[in-house]
Chain A
Amino acid sequence: MIPQFEFAVFVWTSYAIFAIIVAWQIFQPILRRRRLEAEIREELALSQGEYSNDPHP
């Protein structure tokens, strides 16, 4: 399944670095968006006098 390479350590480390950084590019926007949406929802709820979701009553 996984091909056998000469210089395998170098090849796989490079591809791993690539994978990690690409994954960061994919997940950073998703995580940030979730956080922003949660913040805005909380602000909206508080401004409408809805305190049922407030973690610190």
Chain B
Amino acid sequence: MLKSVLALLRRDLRLAIRHGGESLMPLLFLFAVLILVPLGVGPGPNLLSAIAPGMVWVAALLASLLALEGLFRPDLEDGTLEQWWTAPAPVGLLVATRLFSHWLITGLPVILFAPLAAQMLYLPDHALPVLLLTLLIGTPILSLIGGLASALTLGTKRGSVLLSILIFPLVVPVLIFATGAVSAVADGLSPRAHLGLLTSLLILALALAPLATTAALKLNVE
């Protein structure tokens, strides 16, 4: 069981490394957004530091949307996805593994480069650890919700437009609590309540999203 999970993880990561340029697209996209915003609203430090948490988060959200199209579709087209039901590991676990590798490819680079982004937007230094913490808790939720939405749209012809409409309402709470935590700490308040609520969202998403994703995949494979 563990063997097949590890095999799937190894295959996903190897593919991501082989397609180096493609895997870096979300990160490049993140920085494209972060560079365009100051050009749009002006380089004033006060305004930029006020909108920094929201901007980093919106950019991270948009970046996570990019890789969703290739999350299950190639496997559906070459028939690998059907093999998941004959694998020795339960399908839910394989789905969770695939979502974990999606997070490693799109979420982790964003967290690693977030300090640089925060500097570019003049985020106060003492708010940086909290920003990283919210990204650490929040980006897995983005991967889970994104995985669910891409599983739902798997059977359709053009999923990508639909994908963003499906994801937008579901990520509203994540965005609110994550940026709320960073803004609170930037204003000198305690971010604990926000972080606790964000963590409970993560637990809820971890418990329910793989179930719903598996059900949606099953319907689409049938």
Report A-B touching, CB under 8 Å.
no
A interface list, Cβ under 8 A from B: none
B interface list, Cβ under 8 A from A: none
